[in-house]
């Protein structure tokens, strides 16, 4: 009996010891700060000019033992950098990684993805810890993106000293403007987003007896009414109208296409200008007065309305330029080969300006190998990477040298590029259109899209909704 008792007691003691050890381990692991990593010391040394250029082939480590520091030069080592993306165009992304690693065997690139909807929140959470595991990150595709906000929070590294001048000199002006902030270079563009363009189904226009696409927005309405009258299609026009960022961008793009601006020279918000009200009223008229907008648009974002064009349900679509390639892809579209594009319509004539933007990549401020990361960034966001994205995925390049590159222009995925590059202002838009240093971009966008949706669904008048947007902007700016 006593044996059983002592056995039970010893089991109890073992269990108790394991539990106590576990708790001590967890508590210690959680609260105790790790000792200073070797990389911190390595970084101090690599900042000196003599070693800086050779970092990729040589690593210098300083080891401090007691009071005597010793310096050891080690043979070439391989560094690892992590590239975080949304997974869009994954096959091309992996090809870029492979090509880069072939050229740079000393740098290993790890490709990690977080889907677009959760990207910002997860990345922000990682950056706020001060130990972000990602080196190269995507900074949003809608103007102005997260670059300004992240730079102000101290999450991005200025990289002007790492990127070769010839790459910067080759960048298109709006792309350059996008990645410059407070006189520092914070990234390189992924591609050049011409912005929202007009796309049309050639067969539908022909069937309605329309010889050429509309040059003004009123002409778009007239042609859609003709298409309707001829019985070709009940609701020929489509644009994103859901309460979503895409709808906010649709409105912004239309405002630019009508010749409007978002801010004046003093940085005052112009979203409630007479022209802005006119644009929003035009959107409402297409829905409720002329009834030419497909009803599904009210619940779809840009990618969703593309399906309407691909299914042959609409004749005209105002959507992002890079969707042209999908609309003409036989695997995804029943009207492949029949979808074409034209110069963006304007208010009076075909002089609609584009809301162009260059979605940036940046390097995080916690990056442990900035030179290796910058080298990869120069590949990914440089002419080499841009050419691959253009040919394979239809993303317009942001480099002067590639805009007229015959290989890019003849790529089936780049159909329309020759037309869009002729659009007025396409390469001349200033940073003004992206929002002057709008560090509260994400918060403002949330308010703006809801207010816009209120106007679109008739809950508020256009003027009321736009006034609320300006009020929100001023409120956030004041903070």
Partner 1 sequence: MNKTNIILPFLFLLPTFFLILLFMFYPLFYSLVISFYDINPSNFQPTKFIGLKNYIEVISSTSFIESIKSTFIFVFLTVSLSVLIGLGLSLLLNLKGILAKILRGVFITPWAIPPIVAAVMWKLMYHTQFGLLNAFLNRFGIQKISFLGDPNIAMLSISIADCWIYASFCALMILPYLQSIPLEIEESASLDGANSLQKFRYIMLPLIKPGLLIAIIIKSLFSFTEFAIVYALTGGGPAGTTNLISYYIYTVSFKALKFNYAASLSYILALISLLFCIFYVYLFRRVK
Which chain residues interact with partner 1 by CB under 8 A? 5, 8-9, 12, 15-16, 19, 22-23, 26, 30, 120-121, 124, 128-130, 152-155, 241-244, 294-300, 307-308, 311, 313, 440, 442-443, 446-447, 449-450, 453-454, 456-460
Q: How far apart are CA 372 and CA 359, in angstroms?
A: 21
Closest approach of partner 1 to the CB of residue 2, in Å? 12
Question: Which C-beta is closer to partner 1: that of 177 or that of 445?
Answer: 445
* Cα(73)–Cα(69) distance, integer angstroms: 13
Q: Is 184 left (phi over 0), alpha (psi -120 to 50) or beta?
A: beta
Nearer to partner 1, 69 or 154 (CB): 154
Least Cβ distance, residue 473 to partner 1 (angstroms): 14
What's the length of the chain?
A: 479
Q: Is the peptide bond before 144 cis (omega within 30 degrees of 0)?
A: yes
Least distance in Å: CB of 362 to partner 1? 15
Q: Residue 106 CB, nearest distance to partner 1 (Å)?
A: 32
Closer residue to partner 1 (CB): 43 or 307: 307
- 396 near 390, Cβ under 8 Å? yes
Q: How far is the CB of 457 from partner 1 (least distance, A)?
A: 4
Q: State in Å, rounded, how far the first CA of the chain is from the last one.
A: 75
Q: How far is the CB of 9 from partner 1 (least distance, A)?
A: 6
Is the CB of 293 or the CB of 395 nearer to partner 1? 293
- For the CB of residue 454, give the shortest distance to partner 1 in the complex, in Å: 4
Nearer to partner 1 (CB atom), residue 30 or residue 265? 30
User: Which pair of structure tokens corresponds to residue 340?
Assistant: 């074409």
Report the 10 Å Cβ neighbour count for 73: 9
Query: Least CB distance from residue 154 to partner 1, whole Å?
Result: 5
Closer Cβ to partner 1, 23 or 38, answer by number: 23
Closer to partner 1 by Cβ: residue 155 or 271: 155
What kind and span of H or E run contains 83? strand 79-85
* Residue whose token pair is 């112009």: 270
Nearer to partner 1, 431 or 449 (CB): 449
Rounded Cα distance, 273 and 279, in Å: 10
SS3 160: coil
Closest separation in Å from C-beta 47 to partner 1: 22
Which of residues 375 and 449 has its CB atom nearest to partner 1 in the complex? 449
Alpha helices in 77-146 (DSSP H): 90-103, 116-128
State how far the alpha carbon of 387 is from the alpha carbons of 138, 267, 325, 373, 406, in Å: 18, 36, 15, 20, 11
Q: Where are the beta strands (DSSP E) in 218-313?
A: 237-238
Q: Please spell the DSSP secondary structure of 195-238, one letter per residue.
A: -EEEEEEHHHHHHTT--S--SBHHHHHHHHHHHHHTTS-SS-EE
Here the tokens at position 125 are: 């959470």
């Amino acid at each position: 009996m006593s044996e059983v008792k002592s056995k039970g007691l010893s089991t109890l003691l073992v269990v108790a010891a394991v539990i106590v050890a576990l708790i001590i381990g967890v508590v210690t692991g959680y609260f105790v700060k790790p000792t200073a990593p070797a990389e911190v010391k390595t970084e101090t040394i690599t900042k000196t000019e003599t070693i800086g250029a050779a970092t990729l082939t040589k690593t210098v480590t300083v080891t401090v033992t007691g009071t005597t520091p010793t310096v050891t030069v080690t043979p070439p080592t391989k560094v690892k950098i992590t590239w975080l993306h949304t997974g869009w165009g994954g096959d091309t992304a992996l090809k870029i990684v492979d090509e880069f690693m072939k050229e740079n065997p000393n740098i290993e690139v790890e490709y990690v993805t977080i889907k677009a909807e959760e990207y910002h929140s997860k990345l922000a959470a990682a950056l706020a810890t001060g130990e972000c595991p990602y080196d190269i990150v995507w900074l949003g595709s809608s103007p102005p993106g997260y670059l300004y906000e992240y730079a102000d929070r101290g999450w991005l590294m200025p990289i002007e000293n790492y990127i070769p001048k010839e790459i910067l000199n080759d960048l298109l002006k709006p792309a350059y403007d996008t990645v410059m902030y407070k006189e520092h270079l914070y990234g390189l563009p992924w591609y050049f987003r011409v912005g929202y363009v007009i796309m049309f189904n050639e067969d539908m226009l022909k069937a309605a007896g329309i010889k050429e696409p509309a040059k003004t927005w009123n002409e778009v309405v007239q042609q859609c009414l003709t298409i309707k009258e001829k019985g070709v299609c009940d609701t020929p026009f489509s644009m994103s109208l859901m309460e979503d960022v895409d709808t906010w961008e649709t409105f912004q793009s239309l405002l630019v296409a009508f010749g409007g601006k978002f801010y004046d020279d003093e940085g005052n918000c112009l979203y409630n200008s007479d022209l802005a009200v006119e644009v929003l009223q035009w959107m409402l008229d297409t829905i409720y007065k002329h009834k030419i907008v497909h009803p599904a648009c009210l619940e779809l974002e840009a990618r969703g309305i593309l399906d309407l064009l691909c299914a042959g349900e609409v004749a005209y679509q105002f959507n992002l330029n890079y969707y042209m390639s999908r609309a003409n892809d036989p695997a995804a579209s029943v009207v492949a080969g029949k979808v074409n594009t034209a110069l963006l319509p304007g208010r009076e004539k075909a002089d609609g300006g584009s809301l162009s933007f260059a979605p940036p990549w940046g390097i995080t401020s916690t990056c442990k190998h900035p030179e290796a990361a910058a080298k990869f960034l120069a590949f990914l966001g440089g002419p080499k990477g841009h050419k691959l994205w253009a040919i394979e995925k239809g993303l317009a390049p942001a480099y002067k040298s590639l805009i007229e590159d015959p290989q890019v222009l003849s790529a089936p995925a780049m159909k329309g590029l020759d037309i869009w590059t002729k659009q007025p202002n396409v390469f001349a838009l200033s940073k003004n259109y992206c929002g002057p240093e709008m560090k509260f971009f994400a918060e403002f966008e949330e308010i703006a899209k809801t207010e816009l949706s209120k106007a679109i669904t008739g809950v508020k008048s256009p003027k009321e909704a736009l006034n609320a947007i300006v009020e929100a902007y001023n409120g956030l700016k004041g903070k």
